[in-house]
């Protein structure tokens, strides 16, 4: 299975997916750490994918959403954004509403 197929399967079979550097317990960059903290503040159940473990996924995820940076959040198979977008959506309540609506 190529990286694009693997990514598509992950984002469609899980309601909330965060592609990040490192893991929620040990994030490897400040943006990934912030993204994890926001999801935890929303009490979200999410699947975290460590892009540092798989170079093909690390490059593939940037093409998948046509978004150059990591972390990337997907809810119900839709690309939501990175940590800056997550922060503003969290502050205005939009993110919580989307997460509450996640399958």
Look up the CATH number of domain 3-100. 3.40.30.10
CA 12 to chain centre: 13
Q: Are 10 and 51 in contact (CB under 8 A)?
A: no
Q: What is the pLDDT of residues 6-50, one digit of tens each?
A: 999 999 999 999 999 999 999 999 999 999 999 999 999 999 999
Q: Are 14 and 35 in contact (CB under 8 A)?
A: no
The Cα 7–Cα 4 span in angstroms is 5
Residue 103's pLDDT is what? 74
The Cα 50–Cα 41 span in angstroms is 20
Q: Phi and psi of 102, rounded to 5°? A: -65, 145
Q: What is the pLDDT of residues 65-76, one digit of tens each?
A: 999 999 999 999
Q: Specify the residue for token string 């699947």.
A: 47
pTM of the model: 0.96
């Amino acid at each position: 299975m190529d990286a694009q197929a693997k990514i598509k399967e992950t984002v469609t079979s899980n309601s909330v997916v965060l592609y990040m550097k490192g893991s929620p317990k040990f994030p490897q960059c400040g943006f990934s750490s912030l993204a994890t903290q926001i999801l935890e503040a929303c009490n979200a159940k999410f699947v975290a994918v460590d892009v540092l473990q798989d170079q093909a996924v690390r490059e593939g995820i940037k093409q998948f959403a046509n978004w150059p940076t990591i972390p990337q959040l997907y809810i119900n198979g839709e690309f939501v954004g990175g940590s800056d977008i997550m922060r503003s959506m969290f502050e205005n309540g939009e993110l919580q509403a989307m997460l509450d609506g996640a399958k």
